[in-house]
Structure formats: C-alpha cells, structure tokens
Structure 1
Amino acid sequence: MEESNAAALSTFSQRGQGAVESGSKFMIWDIISDMWHPQTNPSGILSVGMAENTLLHDFLLEFIHANVKLTAAHLTYNNGPTGSNALKGALSHFLNRHFNPFRQVEPAHVLVTNGCSSAIEHLSWTFLNPGEGMLLGMPYYSTFIPDIALRPGAVVVPVKMGDLDPLSPEAVQAYEDAAAEFEAKTGKRVRGVMLCNPHNPLSRCYPRDTVTALMKLCQSRKMHLISDEIYALSVWENRVDGPDSHVPFESLLSRDTTGLIDPQLVHVVWGMSKDFGANGLRVGAVITQSSPEFHIAQRCLSLYSYVSAMSDQTTAAILSNDEFTDAYIAKNRELLSVSHAFIVNELKKSGIEYLPGCHAAFFIWINLGKRYLERHPEAAGLGELTDVVYQRLLAEKVFLAHGISFGAEKPGWFRVVFAHPIPWLEEAMARIVRAIE
C-alpha cells in the first residue's frame, strides 16, 4: 500500500504533494461529516470549535423563504464574476448604514467573492510575490495562514507578543520588529499587515490608537493594511465582566486616512458568514476604495471565486431590507450576550480559567490545560499539554479549536464558540468537564 501511495504521489506536483500532507492533518471536514444532533445524530461530535453562529437560523430562513425570488437572469452569468449590480448596490447601502464610512462606499469599490477566505486570498495573490511576507499578530485565526499562503505562495510572518496585550498600541513595535527580522533573514519584503477586528479568537475590538499606529507603520514601509471585519456587527453587552474597559468597534472604513496612510494601501473585508450566521451562503467582499487597478485585476481572477446566483440574490434581498437587518442585528446581539453569560457561569462553576473582557464576535479563550493539570498532576511531562487535552476532548466527542494552531504562545488554551442555543452549550460543557475531570 505504501508503494502504491508513493507511486501515486510521484505523479503529483510539489504543490499537490504538500497538499496531501496538509490534508491528512486537516480534521475539520471529518468532524463536519459527523456532527452531533440531539435527534438525528446523538452519537456525533458536538462542535463548539467552528466559528458558526446558529442562534437565528430560523429567523433568517423565514425571511429568505418569503422574500427571495429568482428570475431567468439568475440562471445566466448575470453581471459577471465580481458580483451582480444588485448585490454590490445592496452591500454598499448596508455598509454605509452600519460601518460609518468616512467616504461613502460605492458599488465600484466592492469585489464580491465566495466567502472571505477567497477575498483574503485575492488580496494576498494581488499584492504579494511568492516568498514575500504578511504580518499576523499572535494569537490569530488559523485559516488566515492558508488564505494568505497556500496558493498565493506568500509567507505568513507570525508576530509574537509575549506578555503584551496583542491589541494594545505597545504591540505595534512587535510588528515592526517582526518585519525587520523577516527581511533581514530572507532578503524578501514584508508587504502587508493582516488584522481581524473584532479579534478572533480574543473577541475584543482594536483601540483607535493601535490602528492609528499600524496605519503609520504601514505607510512608513509601504505595506498594505487589511482589516477583516467579518464580526463587525456582532458586538454585544458583556453582562458578566462589565463594560468598563470595552473598546467600541470602529471600522477602518470610518477613518480619515489623511496624514496617516496612502488610501490605496487600505482594504476591508466583510461577509455574511458570521454577523448573519450564514457560512453556507459563501458570500464575502473586499472593499477597496482608492485602488481601481485592484478591481481591474480581479476581472480575470474572480472567475475562480464566482458567487452562486442564488447566494448573490439571497444576500442582496437581505442587505437591502433595512427593517429586517436592523431587527436581525438587535436580536443577534441580545442572544450572543445571553449565551456568553451562560457559558462564563458554567466555566466558573467548573473552575476553568478564561480570558475575561470579551464583548464582540463569539469566542471565549479558555485554559483547559491548567484545570487538567490540577486534576491530573501526574500528566505533567507526558507530552504537549494542548495535544493531551485535545485528544481527551475528542474521546468525549466534543470539538474545540486547538490553541496551538491559533498561535497561542502558551500551552493549554482553546477557543470555545458560544454562538449556539443554551441546550447545545449545556451538552458541550458536560462533555468538556468529563474530558478534563
């Protein structure tokens, strides 16, 4: 069998062989194929690891069933692969209402893609040569790495934070140091900074002073600043830790860049997956307001990220309806606040450390390694702590995001997604506690 596999691989490109190796370690699609459901698959794997928001699926589906009407145009190429005129118009209308842009977003500023991973890949492919670097602060959303690097051939440069708050203005020096070190070692340029604001997995918003400092850094090095704002409208009241230190969300679109950064270097990403709990629609967008050349380049590239006409029309119908979107956003914020309070109280009951102060997106960063060693001191030194706990979680058929793959600088940390109904979270917590107790 091994000889047969080797023979097959010998016909693959180096890229293909690398993908086989990476794919063999990529468990998430196996987990998706055996997802827990209390009635239809009670023995399946319960996920609080994937960044999905299931809180308002019924509410969204009711609107879709009542309002989405397909026409013959949706069976054609319609207005081309960068998004229909209707969708670009609806997106620009929606962003102008909710993102407080300094300069009004126009349909011509919008590139529509089949999800935000494709949007980020387009940016990486267009702006970075193979081997050039993109700065990414730790911890980070793990899928940024293949988005930036897998097919474009760019290099992600992780920015270690040590004891710094990764979202603080003081952390900007770490970005500059990482860029200088990469360029000195490789002789290649660093071409950009990748942000996720609100942050995944820390579930907080970047302070204005931090973003200002990053804009100045990018200007000084002629680097692109990409702000993934896919959780922009999932900002909610923290009813457990209090709101005193919470930084409000401020879109990069809302900033006057005069004297800070060339606007051609500024790009924002947003999509339907998180704020509207619709990962399956596969609709994302790049908003680039001052680089018409970027949009010209996408005329050939976007053939490979063409959004289905059904998803295009569905999204246009949703985003052009102000009454519905206002109601959805308000309901979503309320339910996220309730679910967050529930999961934090459960963590406290179980003596599990968590990082307090989150108020955006739908994650809690928790330290299962510490609690596991408290219960099992004999496990010290048995192996990489995060892996030991991860295997115990899988044995209990509960999936959490592995902290090391998210750039955690200390072992034992995991990301929990709480954007699910309370019964889902109850079952998840029961399995997590069994795994570590």
Structure 2
Amino acid sequence: MGSFDTSMCRLADCFSTRGQAAVELGSKRITWDIISDMWHPDSNAEGILSVGMAENTLLHTTLLEYINANSKLSPMHLTYNNGSMGSNALRDAVSHFVNRHFKPFRKVEPSHILMTNGCSSAIEHLSHLFLNPGEGILLGMPYYATFIADLTLRPEAEVVPVPMGEKDPLTPEAIELYEHAAIEFEQRTGKKIRAVMLCNPHNPLGRCYPRQTIERLLKLCQSRHMHLISDEIYALSTWSNQVDKTCTFNEFESLLSWDLTALIDPGLVHVLWGLSKDFGANGLRVGAIISQSNRDLHTAAKCVSLYSFISAMSDQIITSILSNDAFTDMYIKKNQQLLSQSHNHLLQIVKKNNIEYREGCNAGFFLWINLGKKYLENHPGEDATKPGFSDKIFNKLLYEKKVYVAHGTAYGSEKPGWYRVVFSHPLLWLDEAMERILSALQ
C-alpha cells in the first residue's frame, strides 16, 4: 500500500453512507493485496501461495495459444459496436454454445442474453433491478463470500442467510428452512423477500443439487413470488470423483433444461454463466444473464448495462472461442480430466494426514476441509468455541506460512475451523500449499 497525506476530512462528512460501507468493507478485503504478491517457484519464492481464490490455471497455456492465434480486431471493435449488452456476434456465440451444452428445454435465443463484464456485475444488476433497498434475498449457508457484496453493497439489498444446522444444504428437506428464514425476516423487518440466490454447482461444497431440491425451491419461489437467480458458472467444471467411492453423486442439470410451466412463472427464473471458471479466464471479465421470459428485464438493462460493458477485445476473443465447437469440446473434456486428477491428488494428501473434509464433491475447484479439528489434535489446550479460533488459524496460515485459504466464516460456515481449498492448480502448486498448511497446524 502506498502512503497518503493525512486528511482532515472525517469519514462521515466526506462519504455517503454507501461510501462509508465501502470503506469498512474495503478495509477488510485482503484479496487484492494477496494476488499482488503471488508465489512463483522461480520469480517470487517468498510470495503468498494462494489456494483460496477460485482460479483455474490448469489449461492456461492451451487457452492462450488459441487466443493468440485467433485474436483479430476490426474497426467495429473501436466503436460501441452493437451496444452495451454484448455484440450481436457474441450473443449469437453464447446462445450457440449454451444450446449445445446446457440442454435447454426451450432454445436460447440471442435476445434472451445480456452480457456483462463478469458474473459479479450480472448479480449486482439483478439485485439492483429486483430489490428495493432493505428488501431481502435468501442465501443458503455456506455460500460464496462475494455474493454478499455483489447483492448488497451498491444495490443496498439485504442478504438473509439461511442456517442449515445439521441438515445437508443440498437436500430437499433444506428448502423448508428457506421458507422459515423468509417468514422470520418479513415479520421482523416488515420488508419483503424478493429473491433466492442459488449457486449450482455449489460453491464451496463442490456438489450439484438433486432434482427434487430444485423442484421444491421452484415451488417455494412461485408461492411467494420470488425470483430465483441460478448462478451456474461451474456448470461444465464437473468431473469424476475417483476417491469417495461410497458417495452418491448428482449430475448437473441447468435450470434452462427444465420445463417450468407447471412449477413457476418463467419470468421469475434467471440463469448466470461466464467463462471465468469453466474456461479458466477470470481476467477476461465475461458473464451472461440468460432470462428467457422477462422482457422488462432486458428493457431495463439497456440503462444499467452501460456500467458492465465488455471490452471489445474480450467480446471478440470469447466470440471466437464459443463459436469453435472442436476447440470447446476438446477444452471442456481435458479440463474435466485435469480437475479430477488434481482433486484426487489433493485428497490423497488430506486423507493421509487424517484431515476431515466434506465428501462427495464432483464439481467446481474446491474442497471444504476442517483444519480446526486437526489443529486441536495438535494443540489439545485450545478451545474452538472461543471467539477468534478460526481467525487464529487463518492468520497463522497467511502471515506465518504465506499460504492463503478461503476463511470458512466469510463463506457462511456455521461451525468454526472450516476452510475452502482450491485445487485447480498444477500438482507442484498443491504440494507446496499442503506442505505449508500442514506446517501451520503443527
């Protein structure tokens, strides 16, 4: 961080309440500081090794070779092109790709798609357009941490976390807890619950929702006239779990593949997808809102989409990638194979060291593991119920061993000591990370 002159301006005088909230949140956000000092075995051996950020680096070389061979801008790319909702060519390419891979019940048309500079912008748009300040959106625990800021910071909506207790968050029985949370919030605040935020495949649990759970959730949304926002950014990052042999695995089913007519007003259903995860391209900043039955949403987006305009370079690159069936088929298959291998490699280390983990994942990049339990085994005098227990382990990992894992508390963990570890990296990276983690627990 650079140095600044001392200002006489008091926070309350110089910032709006929204700005003050951003200052408070920004003071706690260390992610960007971490990635500015990332470990590399040759160029930055003293840096921070990240297995906390959901980045997939397994096929970067393959993707870069394709991009470098197929990047070609035209004069049109130096203009506003076809507008801020994505070029015609890009929306054609996305609809073509989605129709091939998501098995939609109703063919996805380019007019159903709003392109944004990443799915965070897409989520913020939907929160801004569907919820008034103070109104609620349900989010099951645990959850992807950044959903909180995406949904609340600028839209000023209220995330209502849904505690699961001892229930599996992905089972049909968990849906009654959503209804309880909605009733409690509305009685307590007098405000409405307007939407449910879903992540399928689930982040951080790395599993796909069974059909029965989604059906119950659709019916609940219809009964309460709530929007269902389905973030499917890990849709094609499913793979074969070679270790947890006794588990039952659910295959991924996009909400686009459902016949919704008997379950919910289709205008309440919105699907998100992007290239950050399935194509390991966080930096290209490309996301999509697919809403097939809500014309007013697309009309409203003509205003707000200016603030999520994709760069012409990313627009052209992604159009080229998604239009090339041979390349995308090869890439998806290879990515799934490598994710399975990396998961297997990480899990062998975890099991060898008797670290508790949540079994049965077959999607995404992450393993949900209980480092707190292992820490207690090595430090029998410690107490996990005391405030700061999880923070103590997190700080030891980050500041003493320079390894970054995602803090379970920030991800809505209801029990202390749980963390999310990302395995979508080369095996050398995972070996180094686990060596540091194990050292920190001693």
**Is the TM value for this pair above 0.5?**
yes
Of 249-258 and 380-389, deviating more is 380-389
| Partner residue in 1 for 2:22 | 19
Conserved? CA contact 2:247–2:360, under 8 Å: no
Shift of 1:244: 4.9
- 2:239 is matched with 236
Answer yes or no: is the 8 Å Cα contact 1:226–1:268 preserved in 2: yes
Structure 2 Cα separation of the partners of residues 41 and 262 of structure 1: 53
Q: Is the aligned partner of 1:353 residue 2:356?
A: yes
- Measure the CA separation in 1 of the matches of 2:89 and 2:6: 54
Residues 30-63 of structure 1: per-residue CA shift (max 9 Å, x gap): 1011111111111000000000000000000111
Deviation at 1:206, TM superposition (A): 0.4
Q: Give 1:387's match in structure 2, choosing from 375, 385, 391.
A: 391
- Is 1:106 aligned to residue 109 of structure 2? yes
**Alignment-derived partner of residue 414 in structure 2:** 409
**Which of 239-248 and 201-210 deviates more?**
239-248
Partner of residue 400, structure 1: 405
Task: Summarize deviations over 1:202-244 as a string: whole Å, max 9, x none.
Answer: 0000000000000000000000011000000000000000275
Call closer, same or farther: CA 1:239–1:171 in 2, change over 3 Å. Answer: same
1:87 — aligned with what?
90
Give the alignment partner of residue 160 of structure 1, picking from 143, 160, 163: 163
Task: State the alpha-carbon separation in 2 of the partners of residues 13 and 200 from structure 1.
Answer: 33
**Contact 1:191-1:222 at 8 Å conserved across structures:** yes
Residue from 168, 178, 181 that aligns with 2:181: 178
CA separation of 1:6 and 1:386: change in aligned 2, threshold 3 A: farther
Distance between the aligned counterparts of 2:218 and 2:261, measured in 1?
11
Pairs within 5 Å for 1:273-422: 273-380=276-383, 383-394=387-398, 395-422=400-427
User: Per-residue deviation at 1:349?
Assistant: 1.6
1:243 and 1:336 map into 2 onto residues whose CA distance is: 20
Does structure 2 retain, via aligned residues, the 8 Å contact 1:113–1:285? Answer: yes
The 1-side partners of 2:254 and 2:382 are apart by 45
Q: CA deviation at 1:379?
A: 2.4
- Tell me the TM-score normalized by structure 2: 0.97
Unaligned regions of 5+ residues in structure 1, if any? Answer: none
**Once the 2 structures are TM-superposed, how far is the Cα of residue 380 of structure 1 from its aligned partner?**
2.1
Q: Unmatched 5+ residue regions in structure 2?
A: none
Paired residues of 2:11 and 2:20 also in contact (CA < 8 A)? no
Residues 190-209 of structure 1 aligned to structure 2 (within 5 Å): 190-209=193-212
| Aligned partners of 2:21 and 2:153 also within 8 Å | no
Q: Following the alignment from structure 1 to structure 2, what is the Cα–Cα distance between the partners of residues 305 and 136?
A: 24
**Matches of 1:242 and 1:200, distance apart in 2:** 22
How many angstroms apart in 1 are the aligned matches of 2:8 and 2:335?
48
Q: Which of the residues 432, 435, 439 maps onto 1:430?
A: 435
Aligned pair partner of 1:271 in 271, 274, 281: 274
Match of residue 136, structure 1, among 134, 139, 158: 139
Provide the residue aligned with 2:250 in structure 1: 247
Count of aligned positions: 437
Q: Is the 8 A contact 1:268 1:288 kept in 2?
A: yes
With 2-11 and 315-324 compared, the bigger mean Cα shift is at: 2-11
Which piece of structure 1 moves more, 293-302 or 64-73? 64-73
**1:47 corresponding residue in structure 2:** 50
Structure 1 distance, partners of 2:41, 2:246, is 35
Amino acid at match of 2:433: A
Relative to structure 1, the CA distance from residue 187 to residue 2 in structure 2 (aligned partners, 3 Å threshold; closer, same or farther) is: farther
- Partners in 2 of 1:169 and 1:5 — Cα distance? 55
**1:6 Cα deviation after fit:** 5.2
Letter in 2 for 1:63: Y
112-121 or 239-248, which moves further after superposition? 239-248
Corresponding residue SS for 1:377: coil
Q: Distance in 1 between matches of 2:7 and 2:64?
A: 47
Q: Distance in 1 between matches of 2:91 and 2:314?
A: 13
TM-score (norm 1): 0.98
- Quote the Cα distance in structure 2 between the aligned partners of 1:94 and 1:49: 29
Counterpart residue identity of residue 61, structure 1: L
> Measured at CA, do residues 243 and 264 of structure 1 come closer, stay the same or move farther in structure 2, by a change above 3 Å?
farther
CA contact (8 A) 1:114 1:307 kept: yes
Identity of aligned residues (%): 65
- TM-fit CA distance, 1:19: 1.1
**Distance across 2 between alignment mates of 1:27 and 1:6:** 25
1:113: Cα distance to partner? 0.2
Partner of 1:124: 127
1: distance between equivalents of 2:325 and 2:6? 60
Cα shift readout 1:83-130 (whole Å, capped 9, x = no counterpart): 000000000000000000000000000000000000011111111111
Q: Secondary structure at the match of 1:188?
A: coil
Query: Which amino acid in structure 1 is aligned with residue 411 of structure 2?
Result: F
Secondary structure class of the residue paired with 1:112? strand
1:9-47 deviation digits (Å, cap 9, x = unpaired): 522112112211111111101101111111111100000
Cross-structure match for 1:78? 81
Instruction: Calculate the aligned-residue CA RMSD, in Å.
Output: 1.3
Q: Is the 8 A contact 1:384 1:411 kept in 2?
A: no
